[in-house]
Amino acid sequence: MPLRFEVEDFALTFSLLSTILVLSFLGFQIMSTPRRSYIAIYAISKEGKVFTSNETILRLGDGMKFMIVVENHLGRPINVKLLTIFTGDLNFTSPEGCKGSIVNEQVFTIDDKGRSVAEMEFSVTKAIFGQNSITVEQVDVNSFNHEVMAKSPSSNQTFRLIFYLLIWSDDEGRYVTKWNDGINDHTSWLQIWFELVPEAVE
């Protein structure tokens, strides 16, 4: 009987020690693993709600108001340039391959864990609605007119606004397209799709 108790005590002690070692290892892993750095960019409405870009229908001459928010979690202050690109090109997967026109630039300095908000007001002011395609010739961004040339098939009437974030690099002495989270390189951008329709007939 005493031998049985000794075996049980040893098994219990071994189990407790194993649990403590595992928890200590996990705690060490959590403490020693660096937090991932990142930049967040997203669009919200004037009311502060998530901007549902893929359901937007824009009538020629009407304005679309929203805000682009950029959050900095890189662990250091950053200087950024936000490019707004207008395009009818629907076949690209990154801004580098986009065939469009830069219609706005804004520059910010964002502290670590800080954020900047770019207020945007956009409208298409001149367009030709053809039988097989729509050609946009002029847009207005924040009360400034821009001559553009963007086409989209009449079958979908879809255009895109691309918001492309560039980060200032002290090493290169210029704005660059990528930032590093400590492990990998990333590019920050988002897009707003909208369907363009003619002016209302009174």
Reported as a single tens digit per residue, the pLDDT across 157-171 is 789 999 999 999 999
Nearest CA among 190, 132, 121, 122 for reference residue 157:
132
Provide mean pLDDT across the span 183-200: 89
Partnered with residue 145 across adjacent β-strands are 140
Cα separation, 61 vs 86, in Å, equals 16
Give me the residue label for tokens 């207020």.
119
- What is the model's pTM? 0.79
**Which is the CATH superfamily of the domain at 38-197?**
Immunoglobulins (2.60.40.10)
pLDDT score for 52: 65
pLDDT in tens, 52-101: 655 588 999 999 999 999 999 999 999 999 999 999 888 877 888 788 99
User: What value does the CA radius of gyration of the chain take, rounded to a whole number of Å?
Assistant: 26
* Structural tokens at position 84: 């707004």
Please answer whether residues 43 and 67 qualify as being in contact, where contact means their C-beta atoms are separated by less than 8 angstroms. Answer: yes
Average pLDDT value for residue range 180-187: 87
Q: Where in the chain are the domains? A: 1-33, 38-197
49 pLDDT tier (thresholds 50, 70, 90): confident
